[in-house]
Amino acid sequence: MYLVRLIYTSRVSETFKSSDIEGILEVARGKNERNNVTGLLCFNRRFFLQCLEGSRAKVNQTYHQILNDPRHEEIVMLNYQEIISREFDRWNMGYMPESSLTYPINLKYSGTPEFDPYEMSGESAHQMMLALRDTVPIQ
């Protein structure tokens, strides 16, 4: 069974309400636990940046469901790779809202301290999520 990592970005759609984030996390955590999917979701009220890791079949299945979710749009896959081991195995879906702590990390991996994953390469997005994992408390 191959392990893969998938990273995508998206922006909130008109139907998204700020209270939706709690429901998204609750469903994601429950389903990911059953599917042995792990990862991290970054969110700044405009953009999502999510990393999913797990078996190829389960990550692909999860991504297909996410693609069809009307709460976000303009979904762009930034990185898809076979991996040897997981990097976010502490979380079925860790959650990282934007905070002052994340600005220097955004600046390190993109052109500005603002969080805009559309302006990032796949590898920068991946490295930024690892930096967040290692420096900022994640729920």
Ligand X SMILES: Cc1cc2nc3c(=O)[nH]c(=O)nc-3n(C[C@H](O)[C@H](O)[C@H](O)COP(=O)(O)O)c2cc1C
Task: Please list every residue from 49 through 88 that binds ligand X, using CB under 6 A.
Answer: 50, 52, 62, 65-66, 69, 71-72
Is 132 a residue that touches ligand X (CB under 6 A)?
no
Q: Cβ of residue 25: shortest distance to ligand X, in angstroms?
A: 8
Q: How many residues are there in the chain?
A: 139
Residue type, 19: S
Count of residues of this chain found to bind ligand X when the rule CB under 6 A is applied: 16
The answer to whether residue 101 forms part of the interface with ligand X (CB under 6 A) is no
CB-nearer residue toward ligand X: 83 or 107: 83
Instruction: Reduce the secondary structure of the chain to three states and give it as a string.
Output: CCEEEEEEEEEECCCCCCCHHHHHHHHHHHHHHHHCCEEEEEECCCEEEEEEEEEHHHHHHHHHHHHCCCCEEEEEEEEEEEECCCCCCCCCCEEEECCHHHHHHHHHHCCCCCCCHHHCCHHHHHHHHHHHHHHCCCC
Instruction: List the interface residues with ligand X, window 3-42 (CB under 6 A).
Output: 24, 27-28, 31-32, 41
Q: How far is the CB of 98 from ligand X (least distance, A)?
A: 14
Task: Report in angstroms how near the CB of residue 50 gets to ligand X at its nearest.
Answer: 6
Residue 93 engages ligand X in binding (rule: CB under 6 A): yes
One-letter amino acid for residue 109 of the chain: Y
Question: Binding of ligand X at residue 98 (CB under 6 A)?
Answer: no
Binding site for ligand X (CB under 6 A): 24, 27-28, 31-32, 41, 48, 50, 52, 62, 65-66, 69, 71-72, 93
